[in-house]
Structure 1
């Protein structure tokens, strides 16, 4: 078995400080799809810019500012909204056979920044919106035992330079959700493996150039 799925129930909490109080969430998924976060009101602070403020004072819009009937004319109107830190934690058993291997944790799409702790040890951080967040946990895992994985996801845009009203984060399009979408798994590889491979074709010479990067120095 080279892969262990991390799909399923995780402990869940929000806030700058991690305090789990018994709340759970199913991953992969977003806080919105799981009904987590704050109820949307006419006081909600959106990630996108408001170019037309008439919604907030126009009598015609008054019915859509009432609790239970909130509808924005220029934003997606999700059931909940949250911008900040969210915490996800679960235990996973790592087989004894993983000892001596490179073990990588793959998160296809955290939104937006992630940090990972394994057994209380900070492994690292990532913030890509277009590529999976991959963490090497080989040095902190305990093969043959349950291991505690804790992921912090932050969906504020202050550290992500995508520009104002970028479609990748703003409420006019997909929404600025917090969570982890796509695949989630642990993968065991031999210590020596291909870490990266790039292929460069040359039509004129009918040749290709292959550039490979290994997990260890072969010199």
Structure 2
């Protein structure tokens, strides 16, 4: 489904990605792991076509989705290919209601208001509230619901549970497990290693803008030295 090969990228003269490579297959959950500042979010931004808006650009490599080249496409064109993003920091529309946030980018398909409300009942309860009036957990639910309303073939989550209360984190993980069970392909960034080891099929470790390891949960669990070297602060 998604193939990233030899990806390099820069912000102005500063090179931020040097050689990132990974794949996400249909129905798979794949994580991008690594310490802060190692290039995970920049990788997601490159895949989603968001680097130019931030003064950056992908300079080398390939990004393909179902055989179509994504490199150089603007973000709206990438989204139309079937990639839905839950961005770092949630970035809900603060002056739109919950309902307006959800329908703003909706596309026909399995996910609509009714199915998103069933997944996150709190969004139905708060549908007339402005995005800025929601708690952090509610904003994350809204960001996930908004991405699902685009009916993506690949759901991309950058810091899925960062900064959330434990009960909300547990709810988000339960939702992601349900989505996986329904066959949703997911690319995920999150620091909660216990949860990602349970959820994901494969993991990719990025260090200083390069892919340095990839493998399944069993292999990562069996390599404490690897976790100590690349994941622990």
Query: What band does the TM-score fall into relative to the shorter chain?
Result: under 0.3
Which structure has the bigger radius of gyration? Answer: 1
Greater fraction of residues in helix: 2
